[in-house]
Amino acid sequence: MLCLHGFLGEGSDWEKCADAFLVHSPEWQVALIDLPGHSDEEVGWLCPTADEFSQSLRDLVAAEGWGRAVVAGYSLGGRLGLHTALSFPEVFAVFIGISTTAGMEDEAERARRVDSDSALALRLRSDADFPGFLREWWHQPVFASPARLGSDLENFVTSRQRRDPVRMAACLETWSVGRMPSQWSGLPEYSGRALLLSGEADGKYAFAAERMQAAFRNAEHLSIASAGHQLLVEKPQEVARAMASFLNQRS
């Protein structure tokens, strides 16, 4: 199972969830992937397109001799994971999407989102107060949740301020939901299985998950109680149990 984190994150965001998952399903191999631009060790880096990133995951599965793999993604990682699953369904026969969406369809809405993400990217490139940017990012309404603790903010800022703001700007522009292709029309064609997880308090993404479930041929949606958007932080044990239960089913 390849696990993809969200914007500004890192593969280790999945650690608590992955450890709990392996208690339930110790036979699995779990790879916690750092998205391009989010690793401290990358040199000569350019942000790949969604197609290029999907191809790199397919190449990883082939190089490791795994044959097939589950792709699981949170938020941005979910959108990239969905793009990968729909591009290579013979390799990624199971998709798990956490607090994610299949994209934007309305062209005017897409254009507005490109403009807003470009403005944020410009700020990231020019604003020296990256910790201040991170605090504002944390306080966006989409992240509001009954499960968040007061200490979570400082933990978020401390861990994320290691990111390179210029690289984050490139990621924000390239992988803007306004620029990435909408995947809604491709969901009915996906031959694999899908699990969609959303927080009970995350209305926008809960609605998207319900709609995605209806569009897929074979999908389940689970709403996690007393939780918002950041499920890997808020409810890692519940996410792990849901994934293990789903993957242990026989289609």
Nearest residue to 3 via CA among 37, 38, 30:
30
Residue 128 within any structural domain of the chain: no
Crossing angle of helices 165-174 and 107-126, in 10° steps, is 170
The three-point CA angle 48-189-92 to 5° equals 50
Q: What is the pLDDT along the chain (251 residues), one digit of tens a residue?
A: 999 999 999 999 999 999 999 999 999 999 999 999 887 665 557 899 999 999 999 999 999 999 999 999 999 999 999 999 999 999 999 999 999 999 999 999 999 999 999 999 999 999 889 999 999 999 999 998 988 777 788 889 998 998 899 999 999 999 999 999 999 999 999 999 999 999 999 999 999 999 999 999 999 999 999 999 999 999 999 999 999 999 998 64
pLDDT value for 151 = 75
Residue 115 within any structural domain of the chain: no
Residue 98 within any structural domain of the chain: yes
3-class DSSP string for the chain: CEEECCCCCCHHHHHHHHHHHHHHCCCCCCEEECCCCCCCCCCCCCCCCHHHHHHHHHHHHHHHCCCCCEEEEECHHHHHHHHHHHHCCCCCCEEEEECCCCCCCCHHHHHHHHHHHHHHHHHHHHCCCHHHHHHHHHCCHHHCCCCCCHHHHHHHHHHHCCCCHHHHHHHHHHCCCCCCCCCHHHHHHCCCEEEEEEECCCHHHHHHHHHHHHHCCCEEEEEECCCCCCHHHHCHHHHHHHHHHHHHCCC
Number of domains in the chain: 1
Residue 232 within any structural domain of the chain: yes
Q: Taking the model in full, what pTM does it have?
A: 0.95
Residue 172 within any structural domain of the chain: no
Residue 176 within any structural domain of the chain: no
CATH code, domain carrying 28: 3.40.50.1820
Which domain covers residue 7, as residue numbers? 2-105+181-248
pLDDT value for 43 = 54
Residue 37 within any structural domain of the chain: yes
Residue 145 within any structural domain of the chain: no
pLDDT value for 125 = 93
